[in-house]
Structures are given as C-alpha cells and as structure tokens.
Amino acid sequence: LAKTTQPISMDSYEGQEVNITCSHNNIATNDYITWYQQFPSQGPRFIIQGYKTKVTNEVASLFIPADRKSSTLSLPRVSLSDTAVYYCLVYNQGGKLIFGQGTELSVKP
C-alpha cells in the first residue's frame, strides 16, 4: 500500500476554496486515490475517488497530475459544516483501508 503524506491541519474561512494536497510518491500503476471525510464521533464518509486527471462530483473535485505522485482535493466555497478531518488513501484492491492522521480542516466564520 502506498504511503501518503498530507498536512496535519489547515484553516480556512467560509466561502473560500480549500485545496488539500496529498503526496503518494510510491503509488503503483493500479492504485486508486480515494478521499474520505470524518466528522467528530462519526464514521468516515467517502467523498471522491480518481485514477488520473480530474474527477468532479457534487461535493468536491480531485486533481491528479500525470505522474500521479500527488493529488489535490478541492472543496469549493467551504462552509462551517465542512470542518472535519480529511483522509487521503491510496490502494488497488479490496481489503482493509489504512487511515493516517488525515488533515484537520477548520473553517471559521
């Protein structure tokens, strides 16, 4: 499983765009990049997954450069309710998910 590195914490203000970058230098050819969100005392929630280029859904966008050694989760116009921990995971098959410490995003008014 590829090791990931992401910032421990980030601060933002309501209405701003937030970009959280994750490094995964030893990503394998078949690996997918997946982001989860976790609110306090709740289970992780799937946000978005991608393999290459750009993926967008109703919640976020995921940008993956050609070398796939990093990825950026983009949250447009965050609100207070986006305050959470965001996890970047990289894997290529079923089985256990290995969560790191994630990025604790704090959105202020």
Partner 1 sequence: EPEVTQTPSHQVTQMGQEVILRCVPISNHLYFYWYRQILGQKVEFLVSFYNNEISEKSEIFDDQFSVERPDGSNFTLKIRSTKLEDSAMYFCASSDDRVEENIQYFGAGTRLSVL
Among 49, 61, 74, 83, binds partner 1 (CB under 8 A): 49
Query: Do residues 64 and 11 make contact, with C-beta atoms less than 8 angstroms apart?
Result: no
Candidate segments 2-10, 44-52, 57-65, 70-78, binder of partner 1 by CB under 8 A: 44-52
Distances (CA, A) of 61 to 41, 47, 49, 73, 106: 25, 9, 9, 6, 19
Q: Which is nearer to partner 1, 95 or 109 (CB)?
A: 95
> Could you say whether residue 101 binds partner 1 (CB under 8 A)?
yes
Number of H helices, E strands in the chain: 0, 9
Interacting residues with partner 1 (CB under 8 A): 30, 32, 34, 38, 41-46, 49, 87, 91-101
